[in-house]
Amino acid sequence: MNCPDFRFELLHTDRGSDARRSRLQTPHGPVEMPTFMPVGTLGTVKGVDVGRLGETGAQMVLSNTYHLALRPGEETVAELGGLHKFMGWSGPILTDSGGFQVFSLSERTQIDEQGVTFRSHLDGSPIELSPERSIAIQEALGSDLVMVFDHVIGLPNSPEAVAEATWRSVRWAERCKKASTRDDQMLLAIVQGGLDAGLRRECAKELVAMDFPGYAVGGLSVGEKPVDMYRTLEATVPELPEDRPRYLMGVGRPEDLLEAVARGIDMFDCVMPTRNGRNALVYTDEGPLRLRNAAHVLEKRPLEEHCPCPACRYSRGYLRHLFQAKEMLGPVLASIHNLTYYQRLMAEAREAIVENRFPEFREEKLRGWGVG
């Protein structure tokens, strides 16, 4: 992979699907895959300290280039020892490039071939991000995995807009690779192309020809239907090298994780577990629970009987009380439970793949969640 501090091992492929059991060795330890990365945009997973985060089973976390460049600034992070020391996380870290903010803050951006000028969502001041600037920030942060800067747009969109953003992303990826100077960071390219299967395949082929150490599928979960996401993965993933990690960016519904694993994806991230936890929605094998519902007032059962997380030491009735009373412990415990649930789901998926029973595992989970 031309990346001496990293090693990707494909350990097993399920006989009944394209699900893969793999391992990525990084300078800050191994990552067993498929895996889910909690999102710590500003160097913290909201409401969860790194000790509790490790107890959920999390192996690698995600932080964000745009947001950390705004505050406290990459120079400050570097001066304080780099992102690992700054946030107290000893495991691997992946940083997004700021490309998603091109989509999420689109009303505050101006885009040209050179890059993107943002009006800060904090004070309106201009911030310029180019492929070279994004890489420089990520190198200063010192994350393990870094992403190319890409042009993300919402879906559905016009074919012309999708094609323009896709080929711009390819050109920017080449510039990112040329700008990269650290051999202790793994640079991942991002395949774009909207819902156009042919364009996705063309984009993937162009990026594979550039020989990146890893590849991501981006520009999904931005307004399209789940079935369209799955079709896009079916067109894209076969074009990616088997001996490199594959990352589906920003996708987080449990059913989407399993559908993507079945199609050969190794890595995921999403704010969904913590954002929903803060809003009293928790995940279980019987489907999601809304803790503010009156049905839980006198409920003595935990969220799940065999879950090791601290939230499951309490009754559903108590957890509902915390939300009704606006006690901060409620969102914290619900977030920890959801993160633990996602890590358990990925661990169970890894086991099912090795035992060649992933399709049965997926169907069992979908039935329990009432999906399908």
What is the rounded distance in angstroms from the CA atom of residue 153 to the CA atom of residue 219? 7
What is the rounded distance in angstroms from the CA atom of residue 344 to the CA atom of residue 254? 11
Residue type (1 letter), 132? E
How many residues are present in the chain? Answer: 372
Looking only at the bridges linking them, the beta strands covering 186-191 and 214-217 are parallel
Residue whose C-alpha is closest to residue 56's, from 76, 35, 70: 35
Tokens 């050179």, residue located: 114
What is the rounded distance in angstroms from the CA atom of residue 78 to the CA atom of residue 9? 31
**Helix, strand, coil percentages in the chain from 3-state DSSP, rounded to 5:** 45, 20, 40
What is the set of active-site residues?
96, 269
Q: Would you give the distance in Å from CA 24 to the centre of its chain?
A: 16
The angle that helices 329-354 and 358-369 make with each other, rounded to 10 degrees, is 150
